[in-house]
Amino acid sequence: VLANAAMGALGRLGFPACMPVLLDLLSDPRLAEPAASAIERITGQAVPRGAPPKPSPSLSEDELDLWEPTPPPDVPAAHDWWKANEAKFDLNKRRQAGVCVSDDPLGPVFELLPLAIRHDVYLRQRALVGDTPNWELETWSWWQKSPCW
């Protein structure tokens, strides 16, 4: 359980310098999915996957209808992808969804981030920089003026 939380924390931290560790953890069946999620959060790219596992012959017809296996990560392909793309990532700058959020996290890059990641980036900035504008209040007033209401 702690290892899963640690993988999530590495993804939220967003330093590409963590990638060698995360890539190595793709080989561990217990940590492969949390490591893949952290890699995807940092790079913005889906981890290459292998073929999905075959269903167990003991599954009933109803269970087969609901069975949606997750293909395991393709570890060699993930390593190859990182070797080919590592130069695009500054190892000392934070990345979220492949976007650098170290220089100006609430600037133009903020709109490029998925909503869940925006929330984390914004809250981190509010905690670190005291004069960060209150985004919730500012956007709420904009929504109140919106003719869509």
> Domain spans of the chain?
1-50+62-101, 104-149
pLDDT at 51 exceeding the cut of 70: yes
- The per-residue pLDDT for 138 is 62
Interval 95-121 mean pLDDT: 91
Mean pLDDT, the chain, rounded, equals 88
pLDDT at 14 exceeding the cut of 60: yes
Interval 1-26 mean pLDDT: 93
- The per-residue pLDDT for 72 is 93
Contact 111, 31 (CB under 8 A): no
Interval 66-95 mean pLDDT: 94
Helix runs in 1-149, H state only: 2-13, 19-25, 32-43, 61-66, 75-85, 115-128, 135-145
Interval 130-149 mean pLDDT: 61
Q: Report the b/e string of 4-19 with b at 16+ CB within 10 A.
A: eebbeebbbbbbbebb
Q: Is 78 exposed, middle or buried (0-12, 13-18, 19+ CB in 10 A)?
A: buried
- pTM to 2 decimal places: 0.81
pLDDT at 4 exceeding the cut of 70: yes
pLDDT at 116 exceeding the cut of 90: no
pLDDT range class, residue 13, cuts 50, 70, 90: very high
Structure tokens at 2: 């702690």
Helix (H) or strand (E) holding 91: none
